[in-house]
């Protein structure tokens, strides 16, 4: 055994010398389980560029040598420039990639848009061609020289020619133009309309309405405008007939007015004749029947007196019918005196008058208050007298008798009762003169009251209707217009 002691610190410092200024060196004995530091010297750097460890056998011992270089900036002075260049190159590469990607997307979108526009143009062309081909209005395409480029079948049919015989002609040559007249455009936007006429090959003259509109396009394009033509010959002929009819209308109205006046005069004369000429025989019948009954009653047996009584009743009824007819005729001739009428008060007064005549009746009367209308007070009182009088008459067998007057939510006035009613199948007969749904023996009357009611309502511009059922009563609905409608 040879034992040679030495100091590791002095040995390494002496061996490496000035190299320790550029690196950091550590020597660790790792022979045993617990490493033992033998040397730690040189330049200490926080962030070395390179590090390296190496283990060697030294005379039966294992030593680990750890080396650490100076920072990267010291080892490679031009690295910062290289890093800047690399960063700039990366940025430029990213920008170029973005530009290339954008161009690629733009190209794709451009192709999509171009394809969509192409398809839309194709569809637009198909629609335009379909509109040209199947339109009932004549259509023609003209070029910048106002020559026809294309026409649809309706355009050619109006002229009675084949389409190929019209293409290439100046469209002004197709019409009859007066001297100095032209179809030149005269509107600021190039759109103009005109009425023109032409002669067909069969000799007939047609009148058409023209509409010209320019079609935007490049200079020199073969299509410059759209000419639309509508045949208005029949319309002009109809207008001419209407004008001719209007010229004679005044004379016809005057003629009809004179005829109406004569008819009214004849009706008035008839009314006077009925009033005067028929009443005298009736008075004679009634008077002589009464004298016969008073003076010769003892000479007549019971059937004779009954026959005489029937004659007098028939004469009286005939007089009442004449009065009803005259009253109905006067309703058509008298002028309306429009004023505010409280129908609720009028209805109450009519019911009160009827109650005085039969005070023993058990009544349930319901009159809605505050029903004001504009109309002729006399006629409206007559209307309610007839309607409420009918309700009074046909409820004589009811206990209590219900009579109601009011206004529905729909704006219809009504008179309702719980009387005998009528079959709805015969409702159309109610408002006709002398039409009765009940016999004289059951309910007296002349069959003129509801006809009078209808005439009064219609003179006020309203309508009337009825609803009923046999044994369940009846309801009469009528409308009256507002004051501005009379």
Both tokens of residue 275? 């009033």
**pLDDT, mean over the chain:** 79
Answer whether residue 427 shows pLDDT above 70.
Answer: yes
pLDDT for res 331: 59
Go through the chain and tell me how many residues it has: 486
Answer whether residue 378 shows pLDDT above 70.
Answer: yes
pLDDT tens per residue across span 231-243: 888 888 888 888 8
Answer whether residue 137 shows pLDDT above 90.
Answer: no
| Phi (first) and psi of residue 43, to 5 degrees | -80, 125
Q: Which of 30-34, 142-146, 429-433 is modeled with the greatest confidence?
A: 30-34
Please give the model's pTM, rounded to 2 decimal places: 0.42
State mean pLDDT over 252-271. Answer: 74
Ranges 100-104, 276-280, 443-447: which has the least confidence: 443-447
Ranges 140-154, 156-170, 262-276, 435-449: which has the least confidence: 435-449
pLDDT for res 484: 42
Answer whether residue 444 shows pLDDT above 60.
Answer: no
pLDDT for res 405: 92
Residues 351/318, Cβ–Cβ less than 8 Å: no
Grade residue 78 by pLDDT with cuts at 50, 70 and 90.
low
| 3-state per-residue secondary structure call for the chain | CCCCCCCHHHHHHHHHHHHHHCCEEEEEECCCCCCEEEEEEECCCCCCCCEEEEEEEECCEEEEEEEECCCHHHHCCCHHHHHHHHHHHHHHHHHHHHHHHHHHHHHHHHHHHHHHHHHHHHHHHHHHHHHHHHCCCEEEEECCCCEEEEECHHHHHHHCCCHHHHCCCEHHHHCCCCCCCCCCCCCCCCCEEEEEEEECCCCCEEEEEEEEEECCCCCCCCCCEEEEEEECHHHHHHHHHHHHHHHHHHHHHHHHHHHHHHHHHHHHHHHHHHHHHHHHHHHHHHHHHHHHHHHCHHHCCHHHHHHHHHHHHHHHHHHHHHHHHHHHHHHHHCCCCEEEEEHHHHHHHHHHHHHHHCCCCCEEEEECCCCEEEEEHHHHHHHHHHHHHHHHHHCCCCCCEEEEEEECCCCCEEEEECCCCCCHHHHHHCCCCCCCCCCCCCCCCCCCHHHHHHHHHHHCCCCEEEEEECCCEEEEEECCCCHHHC
CA distance 294 to 288: 10
CA distance 445 to 443: 7
Answer whether residue 407 shows pLDDT above 50.
Answer: yes
Grade residue 82 by pLDDT with cuts at 50, 70 and 90.
confident
Residues 362/355, Cβ–Cβ less than 8 Å: no
Answer whether residue 413 shows pLDDT above 90.
Answer: yes
pLDDT for res 442: 45
State mean pLDDT over 100-117. Answer: 88
Cβ contacts of 51 within 8 Å, gap of 6 or more:
66, 67, 68, 69
Grade residue 132 by pLDDT with cuts at 50, 70 and 90.
confident
**Residues above pLDDT 70, as percent of the chain:** 82
Q: Of residues 76 and 212, which shows the higher confidence score?
A: 212
CA distance 193 to 78: 85
pLDDT tens per residue across span 7-22: 777 777 777 777 676 7
Q: Of residues 271 and 332, which shows the higher confidence score?
A: 271
Residue whose structure tokens are 């011992």: 61
pLDDT tens per residue across span 26-66: 888 888 888 888 888 777 777 777 788 888 887 778 988 88
Answer whether residue 116 shows pLDDT above 50.
Answer: yes
Answer whether residue 449 shows pLDDT above 80.
Answer: no
Residue 288: alpha-carbon gap to chain centroid: 75
């Amino acid at each position: 055994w040879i034992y040679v002691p030495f100091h590791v610190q002095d040995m390494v410092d002496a061996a490496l010398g000035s190299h320790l200024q550029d690196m950091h060196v550590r020597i660790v004995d790792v022979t045993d389980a617990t490493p033992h530091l033998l040397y730690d010297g040189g330049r200490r750097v926080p962030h070395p560029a390179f590090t390296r460890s190496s283990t060697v056998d030294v005379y039966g011992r294992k030593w680990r040598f750890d080396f650490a270089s100076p920072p990267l900036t010291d080892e490679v002075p031009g690295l910062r420039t290289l890093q800047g260049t690399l960063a700039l190159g990366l940025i430029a590469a990213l920008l170029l990639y973005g530009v290339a990607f954008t161009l690629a997307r733009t190209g794709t979108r451009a192709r999509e848009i171009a394809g969509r526009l192409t398809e839309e143009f194709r569809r637009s062309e198909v629609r335009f061609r379909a509109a040209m081909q199947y339109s009932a209005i004549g259509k023609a395409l003209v070029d910048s020289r106002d020559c026809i480029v294309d026409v649809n079948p309706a355009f050619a049919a109006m002229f009675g020619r084949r389409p190929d015989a019209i293409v290439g002609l100046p469209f002004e040559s197709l019409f009859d133009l007066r001297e100095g007249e032209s179809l030149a455009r005269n509107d600021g936007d190039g759109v103009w309309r005109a009425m023109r006429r032409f002669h067909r090959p069969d000799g007939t003259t047609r009148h058409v309405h023209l509409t010209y509109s320019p079609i935007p396009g490049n200079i020199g394009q073969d299509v410059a405008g759209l000419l639309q033509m509508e045949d208005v010959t029949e319309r002009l002929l109809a207008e001419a007939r209407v004008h001719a009819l209007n010229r004679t209308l005044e004379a016809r109205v005057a003629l009809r007015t004179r005829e109406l006046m004569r008819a009214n005069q004849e009706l008035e004369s008839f009314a006077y004749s009925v009033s005067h000429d028929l009443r005298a025989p009736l008075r004679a019948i009634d008077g002589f029947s009464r004298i016969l009954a008073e003076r010769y009653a003892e000479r007549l047996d019971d059937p004779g007196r009954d026959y005489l009584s029937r004659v007098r009743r028939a004469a009286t009824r005939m007089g009442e019918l004449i009065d009803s007819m005259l009253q109905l005729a006067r309703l058509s001739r008298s002028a309306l005196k429009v004023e505010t009428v409280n129908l609720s008060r009028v209805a109450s007064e009519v019911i009160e008058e009827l109650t005085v005549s039969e005070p023993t009746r058990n009544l349930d009367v319901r009159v809605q208050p505050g029903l004001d209308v504009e109309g002729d007070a006399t006629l409206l009182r007559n209307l309610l007298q007839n309607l409420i009088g009918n309700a009074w008459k046909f409820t004589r067998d009811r206990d209590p008798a219900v009579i109601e007057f009011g206004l529905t939510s729909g704006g219809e006035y009504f008179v309702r009762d719980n009387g005998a009613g009528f079959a709805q199948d015969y409702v159309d007969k109610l408002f006709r003169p002398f039409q009765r749904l009940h016999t004289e023996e059951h309910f007296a009357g002349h069959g003129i009251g509801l006809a009078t009611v209808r005439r009064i309502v219609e003179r006020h511009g309203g309508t009337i209707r009825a609803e009923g059922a046999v044994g369940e009563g009846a309801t009469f609905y009528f409308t009256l217009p507002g004051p501005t409608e009379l």
